[in-house]
């Protein structure tokens, strides 16, 4: 039988430790192609490059792995991979491991998850992996066996078209991770603050910071699972239609 073809990408850049850890795991499951940004693209969401040239250069990092560094966004990487680089449609796309959590509302801003969602749009089973540790030297080894379990399950069962998995991992040692929980996305938000400053020439600029507010007291959320030491899995879809509101909206006087 033909080995599964696995596309690996991320938003932290092709040399980030998180993607290197994910590539090592992916090699155990099939033939691996890597198409990832040539520089950090965090917070790009589902952005695509429209007004500048895209470059996608083959590089050699790990022997035996086809790797391409792309000048565009994570979504650009998936589009180029599927359209121009891969020998066939991949069986799986895995994105990450992101340096930092993409739980709750962060899924909207995440380049890591947008790459997975783009694969889902193409009908490819996809998973976004994130570790709740922003450190460059984060311990990705602690979650390795759990990531392998999740990948194996997705390859076995496949995902429905348009559904991808958002997987977030707590910042814990392996023996402190309690397991995996299937969750819903928590109702949370960022409360941004902008520090108004002036440069040496008197031009005003702003430096954004913020505080994450979890407004959800539910027991079945990704934030709750992470806080209790579990890996959270949230099924995500690109259909943003508020289906439950359609009947009410149709009764309005348009």
- Provide the 10 A C-beta neighbour count for residue 81: 27
Q: Which helix (H) or strand (E) holds 75?
A: helix 74-80
Confidence (pLDDT) at 1: 65
- Comparing C-alpha atoms, which of 98, 118, 112, 102 is closest to residue 188? 102
Q: What does the pLDDT profile of the chain (254 residues) look like in tens digits?
A: 689 999 999 999 999 999 999 999 999 999 999 999 999 888 889 999 999 999 999 998 887 899 999 999 999 999 999 999 999 999 999 999 999 999 999 999 999 999 999 999 999 999 999 999 999 889 999 999 999 999 999 999 999 999 999 999 999 999 999 999 999 999 988 888 899 999 999 999 999 888 888 888 999 999 999 999 999 999 999 999 999 999 999 999 99
Q: Is 206 helix (H, G, I), strand (E, B) or coil?
A: strand
- Cα of first residue to Cα of last residue in the chain, in angstroms, is 56
To the nearest 10°, report the CA torsion of 44, 117, 126, 22.
0
Residues 216 and 187 sit within 8 Å (Cβ to Cβ)? yes
Domains recognised in the chain with CATH numbers: 5-186+217-250 (3.40.1210.10)
pTM value is 0.93
């Amino acid at each position: 039988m033909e080995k599964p073809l696995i596309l690996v990408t991320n938003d932290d850049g092709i040399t980030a430790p998180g993607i290197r850890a994910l590539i090592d795991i992916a090699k155990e499951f099939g033939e691996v192609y890597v198409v990832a940004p040539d520089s950090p693209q965090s917070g790009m969401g589902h952005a695509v490059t429209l007004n500048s040239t895209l470059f996608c250069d083959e590089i050699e990092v790990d022997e035996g792995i086809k790797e391409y560094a792309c000048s565009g966004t994570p979504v650009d990487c998936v589009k180029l991979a599927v359209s121009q680089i891969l020998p066939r449609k991949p069986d799986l796309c895995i994105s990450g491991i992101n340096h930092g959590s993409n739980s709750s509302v962060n899924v909207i801003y995440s380049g890591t998850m947008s790459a997975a969602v783009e694969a889902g749009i193409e009908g490819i089973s996809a998973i976004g992996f994130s570790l709740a540790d922003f450190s460059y030297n984060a311990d990705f080894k602690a979650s390795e066996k759990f990531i392998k379990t999740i990948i194996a399950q997705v390859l076995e069962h496949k995902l429905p078209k348009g559904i991808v998995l958002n997987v977030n991992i707590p910042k814990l040692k392996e023996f402190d991770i309690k397991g995996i929980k299937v969750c819903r996305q928590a109702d949370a938000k960022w409360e941004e603050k902008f520090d108004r400053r002036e440069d040496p020439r008197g031009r005003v600029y702003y430096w954004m910071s913020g505080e994450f507010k979890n407004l959800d007291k539910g027991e079945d959320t990704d934030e709750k699972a992470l806080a209790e030491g579990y890996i959270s899995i949230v099924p995500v879809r690109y259909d943003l239609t508020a289906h439950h509101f359609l009947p009410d909206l149709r009764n309005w006087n348009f």
